[in-house]
Amino acid sequence: MPFRWSGRATQTLAAAALSALLLASAGKHFREPEFFDQVVPDFLCRDDSGAGPNGPLAVLSRQEWVAVCGLLEAGAAVGLLIPATRPATAGCVTALFTLFLAGHVDALRRAYGPDGTPRQRRVHALRLPLQAPLMAWAWSPTKPGAGQPALPKTVPGRRP
């Protein structure tokens, strides 16, 4: 008897794989925070040195932003594994990846600036386009899988 993949099984596998990726990324946020430093836009970073004024969005230091993002990714990894929270978590992860776009664009802009290096240009030129498939992957668990019945439509005052 051949094994047939259902839409639900595919969706569960995709969510588990994304969860593993998020968990690995969360761990890297704490093992190698400098890897993520360049992706945090300057306008979000509080300057504790007193060298200049802080903008209204600069509520955390660069290191604190990296740690918060790592914690969010770890929480999202858990949320994707729980079927009841998977659709909401997937929507939040998609929003998170969308917000990360600003950081990737800013990092690429700085890499091509006067202080940028050829390595930074290569790394950020590769990281930016990866965001689109990541956002699509993150969004996929928000929809019922193929072969999985959607919630029945109900009309007010009528029984289903």
Question: What does the pLDDT look like over 49-79, one tens digit per residue?
Answer: 766 667 777 889 999 999 999 999 999 999 9
102 within some domain: yes
Which domain does 103 fall in, by range? Answer: 13-142
∠ CA(34), CA(29), CA(109), 5° rounding?
A: 50
Looking at the whole model, is its pTM more than 0.75? yes
pLDDT over 80 at 129, yes or no: yes
Q: How far apart are CA 80 and CA 87, in angstroms?
A: 8
Considering only residues 150 and 60, tell me which one the structure prediction assigns the higher pLDDT: 60
Instruction: Flag whether 155 is in a domain.
Output: no
Is residue 1 situated within a structural domain?
Answer: no
Q: Is position 157 within any domain?
A: no
Predicted pLDDT of residue 58: 84
pLDDT recorded at residue 147: 39
Domains: count for the chain: 1
**75 burial class (0-12, 13-18, 19+ CB within 10 angstroms)?**
middle
Mean pLDDT of 124-153: 76
Q: pLDDT for 16-26, tens place per residue?
A: 999 999 999 99
Q: Is residue 152 part of a domain?
A: no
In a domain, 109, yes or no: yes
| Residue 8 CB-density burial (10 A; 0-12 exposed, 13-18 middle, 19+ buried) | middle
Is 94 part of any domain?
yes
- 149 part of a folded domain: no
Identify the band that residue 48 occupies on the pLDDT scale cut at 50, 70 and 90.
Answer: confident
**CB 143: neighbour CB atoms within 10 A?**
13
